[in-house]
Structure 1
Amino acid sequence: MSNPPASAEKEKPQAEHIEESGSIEKGDRTDNGIDLRVLAEAAAEEKNLSVAQALWKYRAACGYAFFLSLGACMSGFDSSISSGVIAIPSFRNDMGSLVGNQQVVSAAWQSGWSGAARIGQLAGGLSAGSIADRIGRKYTVLIGAVISVGAIFIQFFLRPQQPVQLLFGRTINAWSMGLFAAMASNYAAEVSPTALRGITTGGVNFWVVLGQFLATVVVYAQGQRTDSFAYRVPYAIQWVFPIILSLGLIVIPESPWYLVRKGKHDQALHSLQQILRGSGANPELHLRQIQETIELESLHKEEGGWIDLFKGTNRRRTIIASMVFVCQEMAGVQFVLGYSTYFFELAGFATANAFKLGIGTLALAMVGNFIGLATIEYLGRRTLFFWGMIACTVDCLLLGICSVVPGQGALWGQAAFTMIYMLAYQSGIGPVGYCVYAEISSAQLRSKTIAWGVMVNQVFAGVVQVINPYLINPNEANLEGKVGWIFGGIGVFGTIYTWFFIPETKGRTVDEIDELFERRISARKFSKAVILEDRTVHVDEKAT
C-alpha cells in the first residue's frame, strides 16, 4: 500500500554506490525467497498520485483512520476538562475549602489528580503495545471504550468532598486515553497508503487539539451555572466518544498487518478489500506486499518482544520515536502553551477575556494543524520538524527578551509571541512528532514502538509540568516570562539533534524504511537514498 520516491525509477550517474554485505543483487527474488517484484508492483500503484488524488482514491482508508482518531480527540477533551472544571465555581464549592473569602481546591489535590492522570495515561499507552499485538487493534480500542464508560460514570456521579473518588475515576479514564492515543497512530500507519500516511498519522495531533478546543468551549459555556451540573455536564459529554467508537468498531476493518502476522490471511484479504474499496487497487497484491515485507523483516531477525526495541538497528528507531516528543518539551511547549492565559493576563486582559483569548489560541492551533498537514507530504517530515524547532526556539527566546523589557508594549509582545508559538508549533513539530513515531518503526514492532513513544511523551511532559510552577510562580523562583531563556537555550540542543538524527521518511514504503535502517544510512542522507528494485542502494549526493 505504499510507493517509493519517484527518484527510485532509475540509477543516476552521479550517485554514490553503497556496497554492503546485505545488498541484494539476484534479480526479482532473493535467495531467501522474498519476491521483490511484488514490493515494486504494489508500490507502483500509488506512484504517480498527488495528495489530492490519493485522498479521493483511498477515501475509505482515510475514513477508517480518521474515525479511530476519535479516541485521540477524546484524549484531548479529557485532559482539558479535567483541568478546566477547577475554574468552575460550583466545582470549587463542592471539592474545595474556604480560604479567606473564597473556595479553593488545594494545590495538593490538584497535583494529585494531574499526576494520577499522567500515570494512568502512561500505563495505558505502554500496555497498548502488548494488548494490540495479542488481540488486535479493534478489540484493544473496544476494551478502552468499555473501561472509559465506567470511569466517566465515576466522575459524573462525583460526591462533594470526595477527592479520592475523582482521583480514582480520572486515573482509570486516563488509562483508556493512553490506549486510544496509541491505537489512533498505530491504526492510521497500518491502513494508510504511503502518499497519505503523513496526513493520517500527523492528523492524530489535530484530533487531540480539536478535543482540547471543544472541552474549553464546553467549560466556558457551563461555567456560569451555579449547580453541580456545571461540571457534571462536561464529564457526561465524554460518554459520546466511547459510545460512538464502540458502535463504529462493528464496521471498521481490523489492521491487515496484524492479521497477516497472526496467520489469518483470508481475514487480512477481506480487511484489505474494505480498506481499498472504491480505489481500484488490487487487494491481493497488497496482501502479498504485506506478507513479503513481514518475511523480509524476519530475515533481519526481527522479533516482536519489548527487548527487541533496543536491539540492533531498532535501538536507533526507538530513540528517534522517543526524541521527537522530548524535542517538543525542549522547545518549551508546556511553558508557552500551558501558561498562555497567564501571559494574556499580564498583557492587561481581564480574566474572562484572557480565557476567550485562550479559546482563540486553540482555534489558531487548528489552523496551524491544517497548514502542517497540507504541507507534510510536500515539504517532508524532517524539513517541517527542523524548521518548527527553530521557530519555537526563537519564539521562546523572544518571550524571554520581552520579559526583561519594561512597558506595556513588551507585555503585549509576550501575548503575541504566545499566539505565534501556537501557530508555529502546531504547523510543525506538533503533528510531525505523531507522524514520525508512528512510521519510523518496523512493522513487527510498530505497536510497541508507539506505546514506548506515548510513555516517553507522558514522562517528559509530566516532569516539565512539575518543574514549571517552581520556575514561574511568584512565591518560587518568580522568573515569569524569563523562563523563555531557559527553553530557548535547551531548544537549541533539540534543534541540533533534529538536524543530525531525524530522517526523512516521506514517500517511503515500510520495506524501504527497513532497508535504509538496516544499511545504517545517516538521517541526512535518507532523502537522497535510491533503492532499486533489486534492493541495491545508492545515495545521490546532488539530490536536494
Structure 2
Amino acid sequence: MQSNAFRSSRVPLWLNVANAQRRLGFGTAASQALVASLISDKANAQKAANDDEDTSLPLGKSLKQYSTLIWWTLGMSIAILYGGFDSVILGSINSMDPFKEAMGEWGLNDDPDPAKRKEEWIIPALWMALWDSIGPFGQIAGTALGGWLLDIKGRRFCLLMGSTIGALGILELFFADKPNNKEYRRIMILIGKIIQGSGIGIIKMGTITYMSEISPTTLKGPIMGFIPTFTLLGQLIGAVVSFFMEKQTTSRGYLIAIGSQWLVAAPPFVMSFLLPESPAFLLLRNDKIKATASFRRLLGPTHSAQAAADKMARTMDEESKNTTAVTYLDCFKGSNRRRSLIVMFAGSVEFLFGLGLLSSVSTFLPQLNMKSSMALLFLIGGIVVGLIANSTSSWMLSHFARRQLLTTSFVAAATLWGVMGFAGIKQFEWTGWLAGGLCTAIIVVCGLGCWPASYAVIGETSSLRLRSKTVSLGSLMNNLTGILGNAVMPFLYQPDALDLGAKTGFIFAALSLIGAALSYLFVPELKGRSAMEIEHLFAKGVRSVGSSKWKDAHEEMPMRYMGAV
C-alpha cells in the first residue's frame, strides 16, 4: 500500500522527469538536481509503502518472511522455561518426605481432621512462610537490577549475569542439607532461593525486553505470547520431574530435582554468547554500524538491515523529543506516565484473573473434599490445557484486538468464577469436581485471551528508549501482586481461617470484573501499529475508548514539484 501523497498522483515518474527536463533545460544543474530529488522522493515513498505493507501481512506470511528472526526468538524463549521450571521444583520438594526429614522436626501434625493427625516430619510453618514470601523478593531485586543493567551493559550481559547468579543459587540449594544444624540448612535454602530468584529476575527482564525490541509489528503479539507458553512448558516439565522424583525414599530424589535446574539455567548462558546484541541498546549508545550488523544477523539476507536500523533510529529520535534521559523517574514524566501505568496494569493481569489460585488447585481442591491425588491431576491437567491454549494464542493475537481479548476473557473468567462462588454457598460431594472443572475452563479462557494479551501490551506500550525500565516496572508489579496473592490465598479457603471454600470464586469474579473495566477504560488499541504510531498516539493523548479507530496523520512523502510540471 503506497502513501496517500504518492497514491494521489496519477502522473508516472518518467513523465515528471521529462517535463522537468523540458522546463529547466536538458543537462542543466537545476534539471539534474530536480531529477535526483524526484527519484529520491519516489524511493522514499516506496520505502514508506513497504513499511505500511509490512503491518498488514497475515500471520503465515509474516512467519515465513521473518523465519530467521523467529528462530532467534524461540531460542530466547527457552530462557523463560527456567522461571516456570524453578517455581514447580522448589515448591514440590517441600512435600518430599526425605526433604521434610532433612529440614523438618518430628512431631504431630495439626490437621483439623482428627483421623488424619499423626506423627511425621514437619517443616516449621515459619520457615515455609519465609521461603514462600521472602524468597521471591530475590526476583524483585533481580528485576530492578536488570532494568538498570540492561541500558548500561546490554541485553547479552544480563543473560550471562542472570544465568551465572542463578547457577550459584542452585549450588547453594544443592548443598543446603550438608550442615549438621538444621537451622543452618533452612537458612541456606532461604539464601539459595533469594540468589536464584535474583538471577531469574535478571534473565526474565533481559528476555522480555529483547523480544519486544526486535519483533516486527505484525509479530509483536504472537512473539510476546511465547512468554506464558514457555512458562507453562517449564512448569509441565518441572511437574513431570517432581512426579518421578517424589517416589524416591532417599535424598537422591530432591537432590536430582534441585540439580536438574542447572539444565534449564544453561540455555540463557549459551545464548548470551550466540545472540547478537539488541539493536535498540546499540542505538542508545549511538553505534548505528553495530546496530545494522545486529539487524543483519537477526533478519537474515532477505531483509534490509540498514532500513530496519534507520526506522528504529527515526523512532528513537522522535521519542527523544519527549524524553532525553533514560531513568526510572522518566517513566513517570509526560506521556510516559500513562504508558508506564498501562504496563504496570498489564503486569498485574495474572493476579486479577486468579492465576495464583489456579496454580494451587492441588491445595485448594482438597478443601472441597477432593482426594489429593485427584487434585494433583487437576493441577497437571490445568498446566496441559493452559499450554495448549497459550500455544494457539499466536493466532488469536494476530487476528483479534488487544482490548477485545482483554475485556472479553476477563468477563468470561468473572462469569466462571461467579458460578464457582454460587456453587459454594451450599457444598455438595460434587462441588470439588465442579470447582476443578471451572478452574480448568478459566485457564483455557484466559490462556486464549488476557494472559498472552497482557504480554503483548507490555511489549508494545513502552517507548524504545525507556523499554527496559518500563518492562521492569511491569515485572515488579507482576512479582508484587504474585507475592500478595500467595500470602493471602491460604487465608481465604483454609478451614482454620476464613474457610470460604468454593465461595472464594466471588473474590476472583470481582477482581476479573475490575480487570475488564480497567482494560476497557485505560488500555488503548495498539495492534498493528508501528513504534512511531504508538509514540504519536500517546504524545497526542488519544483516549483509550475509541482508539482502535484513530489514524496517525503522519507526514507523507512530499511530491514537491508536482504543481510546477
Structure 1 residue corresponding to 2:277, chosen from 233, 236, 254: 254
1:523 match: secondary structure: coil
* Cα drift, residue 154 of structure 1: 1.0
* Cα drift, residue 365 of structure 1: 0.7
Task: Within 5 Å, give how 1:379-394 maps onto structure 2.
Answer: 379-394=400-415
2:135 match: secondary structure: helix
- In the alignment of these two chains, the number of paired residues is 508
Could you tell me which residue of structure 1 aligns to residue 340 of structure 2? Answer: 318
TM-score by length of 1: 0.89
Between the aligned partners of 2:138 and 2:242, the Cα distance in structure 1 is: 23
- Is the CA contact (8 Å cut-off) linking 1:51 and 1:377 kept in structure 2? yes
Between the aligned partners of 1:86 and 1:47, the Cα distance in structure 2 is: 49
Which whole-Å deviations, capped at 9, do the CAs of 1:21-45 have from their partners, x for residues lacking one? xxxxxxxx9xxxxx98698356236
Q: 1:376 aligned to 2:394?
A: no
* Cα drift, residue 535 of structure 1: 6.9
Could you tell me which residue of structure 2 aligns to residue 509 of structure 1? Answer: 530
Structure 2 residue corresponding to 1:305, chosen from 300, 312, 327: 327
1:444 match: secondary structure: coil
Q: 1:208 aligned to 2:231?
A: yes
Task: Within 5 Å, give how 1:17-32 maps onto structure 2.
Answer: none
Which whole-Å deviations, capped at 9, do the CAs of 1:460-518 have from their partners, x for residues lacking one? 11112211212211111111221211221232222111111111111111111001000
Structure 1 residue corresponding to 2:167, chosen from 137, 149, 167: 149
- From the superposition, tell whether residues 208 and 259 of structure 1 become closer, same or farther in structure 2 (CA, over 3 Å): same
Amino acid at match of 1:443: L
- Is the CA contact (8 Å cut-off) linking 1:188 and 1:200 kept in structure 2? yes
Could you tell me which residue of structure 2 aligns to residue 25 of structure 1? Answer: none
Between the aligned partners of 1:7 and 1:40, the Cα distance in structure 2 is: 7
Q: 1:530 aligned to 2:551?
A: yes
1:253 match: secondary structure: coil
Structure 2 residue corresponding to 1:123, chosen from 141, 154, 157: 141
1:117 match: secondary structure: coil
Between the aligned partners of 1:432 and 1:97, the Cα distance in structure 2 is: 45
Q: 1:135 aligned to 2:153?
A: yes
- From the superposition, tell whether residues 103 and 513 of structure 1 become closer, same or farther in structure 2 (CA, over 3 Å): same
Task: Within 5 Å, give how 1:323-362 maps onto structure 2.
Answer: 323-335=345-357, 337-345=358-366, 349-362=370-383
Which whole-Å deviations, capped at 9, do the CAs of 1:57-114 have from their partners, x for residues lacking one? 2122122122122222101111111111111111111111112211111221111111
- From the superposition, tell whether residues 487 and 357 of structure 1 become closer, same or farther in structure 2 (CA, over 3 Å): closer
Task: Within 5 Å, give how 1:11-410 maps onto structure 2.
Answer: 40-41=48-49, 43-44=51-52, 46-100=54-108, 101-159=119-177, 161=182, 162-278=185-301, 280-335=302-357, 337-345=358-366, 349-410=370-431
Misfit runs of 4+, over 4 Å: 6-11, 35-39, 346-349
Amino acid at match of 2:60: A
Amino acid at match of 1:169: G
1:226 match: secondary structure: coil
Between the aligned partners of 2:5 and 2:289, the Cα distance in structure 1 is: 35
Between the aligned partners of 1:364 and 1:39, the Cα distance in structure 2 is: 43
Could you tell me which residue of structure 1 aligns to residue 17 of structure 2? Answer: none
Between the aligned partners of 1:529 and 1:126, the Cα distance in structure 2 is: 35
- Is the CA contact (8 Å cut-off) linking 2:88 and 2:235 kept in structure 1? yes
- From the superposition, tell whether residues 521 and 39 of structure 1 become closer, same or farther in structure 2 (CA, over 3 Å): farther
Could you tell me which residue of structure 2 aligns to residue 17 of structure 1? Answer: none
* Cα drift, residue 248 of structure 1: 2.7
- Is the CA contact (8 Å cut-off) linking 1:400 and 1:484 kept in structure 2? yes
Amino acid at match of 1:247: V
- Structure number with greater CO (CA < 8 Å, separation at least 6) is 1
Between the aligned partners of 1:59 and 1:433, the Cα distance in structure 2 is: 24
- Is the CA contact (8 Å cut-off) linking 2:353 and 2:511 kept in structure 1? yes
* Cα drift, residue 299 of structure 1: 2.0
Amino acid at match of 1:157: F
Between the aligned partners of 1:492 and 1:9, the Cα distance in structure 2 is: 42
2:106 match: secondary structure: strand
Gaps of 5+ in 1: 1-5, 12-28, 30-34, 537-544
Query: Which structure: larger Rg?
Result: 2
* Cα drift, residue 302 of structure 1: 4.3
Amino acid at match of 1:316: R
Could you tell me which residue of structure 1 aligns to residue 434 of structure 2? Answer: 413
Could you tell me which residue of structure 2 aligns to residue 14 of structure 1? Answer: none
Between the aligned partners of 1:41 and 1:175, the Cα distance in structure 2 is: 45
Could you tell me which residue of structure 2 aligns to residue 18 of structure 1? Answer: none
Q: Report the identity percentage.
A: 24
- From the superposition, tell whether residues 521 and 96 of structure 1 become closer, same or farther in structure 2 (CA, over 3 Å): same
- Is the CA contact (8 Å cut-off) linking 2:526 and 2:534 kept in structure 1? yes
- Is the CA contact (8 Å cut-off) linking 2:140 and 2:201 kept in structure 1? yes
Between the aligned partners of 2:5 and 2:534, the Cα distance in structure 1 is: 19
Amino acid at match of 2:352: M
Amino acid at match of 2:307: L
* Cα drift, residue 353 of structure 1: 3.2
Between the aligned partners of 1:463 and 1:98, the Cα distance in structure 2 is: 31
* Cα drift, residue 166 of structure 1: 0.7
Between the aligned partners of 1:36 and 1:399, the Cα distance in structure 2 is: 58
TM-score by length of 2: 0.86
Between the aligned partners of 1:120 and 1:468, the Cα distance in structure 2 is: 21
Please give the root-mean-square deviation of Cα atoms over the aligned residues, in Å.
2.3
